[in-house]
Amino acid sequence: MIDLDFFSSPIGLGHVTRDIAIANNFENISTKFVTGSGAAKILKNLDLKVEDIYIPPQFIVENGMLKNSTRWLWNYYQYYKRCKKIAKKIIEVDNPRLVISDEDFASLTVAQNKKTPTVLITDIVQTNFINGITSFIEKKMNKSMQEIMKKCDTVIIPENGPDEGNIRRVGPIVRQINFSREELRKKFSFDKKTIVISVGGTDAGVFLIEKTLEAISKINQDINVIVVSGPSLSKKFGNLRNFGFVNNLHEMIFAADVTVSLAGKSTIDEAKAYGTPGIFIPIKGHFEQESNAKEEGFVFEDINRLDKLILGKLEQKRNPLETRGAITAYNIIKKLI
């Protein structure tokens, strides 16, 4: 019997990295992750138990702009149906005491039908990808999502704010770092001002890497440029210090002087927690990233003034923030086991 089945959405890497931050607190609790793609690779490299079984739909991004949102949403619905079948088999075999989902609603549906306690970790309460005549599809999906959330024993949201109903706001959930910044800079050979460019686990952010490199070429400073391009772009930028795919991006963000990234919530939270000045450019048309970026003072069009933004961030002082989201989430989950 498994104590916890942890279903992590493989759409982006931020879900699994915050889930790892929580799971690192577990002791004597048998845990299995279910996910896919780059998320599964991180878990395998950390020797955590994982079923690499989900194949998520890919966003279509051209020149930094999200295309064919309606098609993506339809593909996501088909993906959701496949995930329900997968989750049903896994939960029947494992018979877990608790199912934790990080934005994997298929597993919640299955677990709730079996009366298994459920916890949802999410930073969105509804999606807003499409407008116009086909938006009724998304509205229907949002209504189903709201019903699933209501049935959860607890919904954990990694932001600051009041609790309400079954929703617990725990603050940012970030991975703990066990080394000093000086030790990490030595480990990564960051021997001068260093900019880390990170775009997650797919090629959706290639536009941001290219634009950032172009901007840096205009800056008359001796700067280290580190690219964390993800597995699919590891060869494209091979003439640079391209780390490709890493398990410890949080350590590299901490060691950097500036990070330039897509506007994923987990990367933003890690940069803020560690005090690293950051520039966060959203995929245009991606409602969640645009909202995250706006909160940090950025919009997609800032991609055209990256040189000025980078110069400003290089002069900005570090201001780390204390976060207890991971341990707070763990304590909530522990009481439900």
The pLDDT, as a whole number, for residue 127 is 67
Give, in order, the Cα–Cα distances in Å from 95 to each of 276, 282, 335: 42, 40, 18
Return the bridge partners of 150, or none: none
Is the pTM for the entire model greater than 0.75? yes
What pLDDT, on the 0 to 100 scale, is given for residue 28? 87
pLDDT bucket at 240, cuts 50 / 70 / 90: low
Q: What's residue 238's pLDDT?
A: 47
pLDDT at res. 234 = 47
DSSP E strand stretches across the chain? 4-8, 31-35, 50-52, 60-62, 65-67, 98-102, 118-121, 154-157, 167-169, 194-198, 224-228, 241-242, 258-262, 278-281
In tens, the pLDDT along 119-157 reads 999 998 776 666 666 667 778 878 888 999 999 999 999
* pLDDT score for 125: 75
pLDDT digits (tens, 9 = 90+) for 265-294: 999 999 999 999 999 999 999 989 999 999
The C-alpha atoms of residue 40 and residue 188 are separated, in whole angstroms, by: 24
Which residues have CB under 8 Å from 205's CB, separation 6+?
61, 199, 230, 262, 283
Residue 236 has pLDDT above 70, yes or no: no
All domains of the chain, ordered by start, with CATH? 4-172+325-336 (3.40.50.2000), 181-314 (3.40.50.2000)
Write the pLDDT tens digit of every residue in 82-99: 999 999 999 999 999 999
> What beta strand segments (E) does 219-313 contain?
224-228, 241-242, 258-262, 278-281
In the structure encoding, which two tokens stand for residue 121, read together?
Answer: 């970790």
Q: How far apart are CA 313 and CA 307, in angstroms?
A: 10
What percent of the chain stands above pLDDT 90?
75
The pLDDT assigned to 133 comes to: 64
Give the integer Cα–Cα distance in Å for 261 and 244.
14
Beta bridge partners of 194: 224
